[in-house]
Structure 1
């Protein structure tokens, strides 16, 4: 269980970095890319990665099955996480409603393909390179990470529920006064 939690934390952080890079490449500025108040994490990536890495060995042994099963599994996780945030907090972190074949704006075929590609990269290269580092994390640090994540997660969910907007997580931005120039 400790290794699954560490996978979740690590890949939530790497997912956050991927989101920042994606926004930068697309020219999207000023939009928050994390899902917690303090920690720079995107839990959908961590949950998706942990689900993929813990698929049966039969599936993990073949790139095509990793692509198909990993893409579908991560898409299922994405749907569940999107639905959770909508129901529990009344917010949406992403919206694929403009994409063809989307399901409620939560998932779409294009991003299922992206998840499949990420699944192969994760299983074939990323996790084998990072697993030895995860194995070195001391148990006391895992407990600290768990406590910090839990507190941040609960506070974030309460704040999102109260405000109804993901912008509430961007407390670090300088607030401009009405009429003030950029």
Structure 2
């Protein structure tokens, strides 16, 4: 199995699943789909990065359960903080706000959601990931062709997003 293609596969799949999770969470909590996102397409790279890192560590390192729990807390929380911080600093935009929750840092991360990340990470690594590995291995040729196409689409979406932000800044 080609490790690079496999890790990019995980990034793409979990970026898409993250978009689904956010929309389902939004439907449950505020009874509507989440309207505002950085990218226009159905991908949340923050989820893709965190999941791909966790999958890699879980698959290729031999950590005990306690270490994996700590990593499932730290990695998604760190990715969420870095993402939120960069979006605020670089684009003057906040896509979520935890400032009303107890134990938050700059309104970007909160202890409550970090605990959610542990549960979501373990569900991902031990329930979803084994299925995805089988899908990947059975269809390696397909994914070897399809993943670069999806990455190209995400990159184009990112560039169009940057261009639209640039236009909005000029119009201000």
Q: 1:22 to 1:33 in 2, by over 3 A?
A: farther
Q: Which runs of 4+ in 1 moved over 4 A?
A: none
Distance (Å, rounded) in 2 between the aligned partners of 1:112 and 1:129? 25
Q: Does 1:19 align with 2:19?
A: no
Q: Deviations over 1:79-107 (max 9, x none)?
A: 11111212222211111111111111111
RMSD: 1.9
Counterpart of 2:163 (choices 143, 152, 158) is 158
CA deviation vs aligned residue, 1:132-170 (integer Å, no higher than 9, x gap):
213323322222112111111121133245437xxxxxx
Q: TM-score, normalised by structure 2?
A: 0.84
How far the C-alpha of 1:27 sits from its partner, in A, is: 2.8
Deviates most, 86-95 or 104-113 = 86-95
Structure 2 counterpart of 1:94, from 77, 93, 96: 96
Partner of 2:135: 133
Q: Which secondary structure state, in structure 2, belongs to the residue aligned with residue 54 of structure 1?
A: helix
Higher percent of residues as helix: 2
Alpha-carbon offset, residue 66 of structure 1: 2.3
Q: Using the TM superposition, give the Cα deviation of residue 67 of structure 1 relative to its aligned residue in structure 2, in angstroms.
A: 2.3
- Cα-to-partner distance string for 1:11-32 (whole Å, 9 max, x where unaligned): 1111111111111111342541
1:179 maps to which residue? none
1:160–1:4 distance in 2 versus 1, CA, 3 Å: farther
List alignment gaps of at least 5 residues for structure 2: none
